[in-house]
Structure 1
Amino acid sequence: MAELDETHHGRLLAFLSAHSPARSTGPGSSDVSLWVGIHEADGRLVACGAISALPGSGAPLMVSVATDAALRGQGLGAAVTSWLTRYAVRRYGLCTLWQLAGNTPAGRLCTRLGYRDEDPCVAARIDAC
């Protein structure tokens, strides 16, 4: 696992656009404190994720975990998720995450790693009166 800085933002954006277009955030977001990635021996990025801050509380929030579509099912997402979880727990004492609705594989992964869906969050558009 490698920490990724601003020099990697272009590669991160291209990777996320190709493999996770519905991502929750992207490189350069002011609330992200850490990006990490897994690279192949040739330097190609194959998985990534970030730690952001939960709006309102500032609690660490795992975001934009993504895996190369051709390599899914090989444990890369689990490696990123596990690493970020351990990082956040060591540094902040907890780790939270949001999962996009309908992402069944991510749900299974999070459950397998010990996360529980105990506080469902529903988003809706509310028009001003």
Structure 2
Amino acid sequence: MICLVQHVDVEPLEVAPEPITTQRALEKASQHDPYVLYDGALASGDTGYRWGSAYALRTMPHSPRRRGPRGTVLGPDDADAAELLAWIARTRPWGDLAGISVERHREPTLHEHFVVGDGGNWDWWWSTVAPPRTPGQDLVVPLDDTADAQAITALNEIGNPTAESEPGTGRTELWAGIRDELDPSRVIAAAALHRSRTGHGVLTGIVVDPAHRGRGLGRAVTAALTRGCIEADGVATLGMYADNDTARSLYSSLGYRVAHEFASRAITPR
């Protein structure tokens, strides 16, 4: 479905947006949006902002590959979000931002207020329902972040060089993997569990060896890690590039729901 945003002429705000200084206030402003509850935390001492139904916060990226603070502007009303974006562009309350994320159908609004660079489209998913056991799950074993780092890195290089699981760095709390039955030193599928800014579980780095795809191995490691995460924390989350239709089908079948369809772009002030 294609969503179109009607152009909104935005008059400069004469009154500054309401500051948000606590996580509880941010949750209230978002009407307890799952992204805010389980991922989008205010940094200690930082300030978010609210205008009407729209709200904004500054975050640091999960991965060290992405540098610099980033803004996120959300809320149900396009006009409120446009006004808040215009105010952020004009006043720069957080100084220079490396990038900003908005709902994907609002991406054209960014160009009205910033010089917009490269970026990506991605979806934020969440689930509170543990999936049932899946075929192949008996093959899933825990992996060791240190001892198996080389094997996981080799898997990422052939399966997904942009995977953000960061084996061997200590970032991953828990690994679920499947070893090659003929050569147990090789890992042919893996998934990592990280912690979000709010302290909740985030699945990342879900990779399957191209030579072993089509066997349900990605489903097996994803289901196992999701079930463990939900049983421990009550929720599991993940992010997915918007053009990955195979992953979309998998996550939907395991009970995940999309909360936000993001456009994330590098920006510089005009």
Q: 1:50 Cα deviation (Å)?
A: 0.5
Alpha-carbon spacing, 1:128–1:11, altered in 2? closer, same or farther (3 Å)? farther
Local SS of the residue matching 1:81: helix
Local SS of the residue matching 2:142: strand
Cα distance in 1 between the residues matched to 2:190 and 2:179: 9
Larger radius of gyration: 2
Unpaired runs of 5+ residues, structure 2, are 1-139
Cα distance in 2 between the residues matched to 1:98 and 1:91: 20
Aligned length: 128
Name the counterpart of 2:62: none
Name the counterpart of 1:51: 193
TM-score, normalised to structure 2, is 0.45
Greater RCO, 1 or 2 (C-alpha within 8 Å, sep 6+): 2
Name the counterpart of 1:3: 142
Cα distance in 1 between the residues matched to 2:269 and 2:175: 36
Cα distance in 2 between the residues matched to 1:29 and 1:94: 25
Q: Which amino acid aligns with 2:174?
A: L
Q: Which amino acid aligns with 2:178?
A: I
Per-residue Cα deviation, 1:60-118 (whole angstroms, up to 9, x for no partner): 10000011112212110000110010010111111001112311101111111111112
Alpha-carbon spacing, 1:50–1:105, altered in 2? closer, same or farther (3 Å)? same
Runs of 4+ in 1 over 4 A off after TM superposition: none
Cα distance in 1 between the residues matched to 2:269 and 2:164: 25
Equivalent of residue 257 in structure 2, options 104, 111, 116: 116
Equivalent of residue 34 in structure 1, options 157, 167, 174: 174
Q: Which amino acid aligns with 2:148?
A: H
Cα distance in 1 between the residues matched to 2:190 and 2:175: 7
TM-score, normalised to structure 1, is 0.90
> Which structure shows the higher helix fraction?
1
| Stretch moving more, 92-101 or 19-28 | 19-28
- The reply to whether residue 17 of structure 1 matches residue 176 of structure 2 is no
| Stretch moving more, 5-14 or 34-43 | 34-43
> Which structure shows the higher strand fraction?
2
Name the counterpart of 1:103: 244
Q: 1:128 Cα deviation (Å)?
A: 6.1
Cα distance in 2 between the residues matched to 1:128 and 1:53: 32
Q: Which amino acid aligns with 1:12?
A: I
Cα distance in 2 between the residues matched to 1:20 and 1:36: 16
Cα distance in 2 between the residues matched to 1:116 and 1:30: 29
